[in-house]
Amino acid sequence: MSTLTRTGLLGRLTALITAGLLAMTVCVAFTSPASADDLNATSDDTLAEIEGAPWPEYGLGDADVDIAAAKLLLIHHGYDPHMDADRPIDFDAKMEASVNAYQVAGDLAETGRLDAETWLLLREQTFGEFGPGTSGPVVEAVQRLLNAKFAHHLATDGVYGPATEAAVRDAQEHFGIGVDGITGSYTFRALITYQDYDR
């Protein structure tokens, strides 16, 4: 290969690397400072408390809003628990089969139960952030949790509008999470592990 050809290739390679670094810098510069539950505004003690809270465990025959939320997360990931709109909170045989399939795909022990390992995998594979402008089953899960645990009256339409954002802000204030109205992994965990509410 001639020196001229090598010089041309090196020049193009340098230009590509420079362009890539510039694009990465722009992305970082414009990433919301509120990302990941506004961790800069959340104390280490609060984060430790949220992470230390035990995940609730559910299995066949149980009924709870957390189960409805898990069904919606499973739907988001392509597992169909055949959620019954009239009884969304029931842990039935179809839910057990979906949980088993999800556990097998995630290399977890196949227990058929919503246990800590399954919640952790759902959290890890789902969040990210959900906030204004997002929609879908994960947003509906958040809406159902807020309605049940904080007595909000949100439409469970899966659309993250101003009312959902305001309800998330209220919950974040309750938990001591930096208030940004965005549902990230800490807000999600706090919503699921919070069990001290009127049923």
pLDDT per position as a tens digit, 110-156: 999 999 999 999 999 999 999 999 999 999 999 999 999 999 999 99
Cα–Cα–Cα angle for 56, 61, 64, rounded to 5 degrees = 45
Q: Contact 180/173 with Cβ under 8 angstroms?
A: no
pLDDT digits (tens, 9 = 90+) for 25-44: 333 333 333 345 667 789 99
The CATH-assigned architecture of domain 35-193 is Orthogonal Bundle (1.10)
Alpha carbons 34 and 117: distance in angstroms, whole number: 27
**Which string of b and e fits 119-147 if b means at least 16 CB within 10 Å?**
bebbbeebbbbbbeebeebbbbbbbbbbb
Distance CA 29, CA 21 (A): 12
pTM for this predicted structure: 0.81
Percent over 90 (pLDDT), the chain: 77
Looking at every residue in the chain, the average pLDDT score rounds to 86
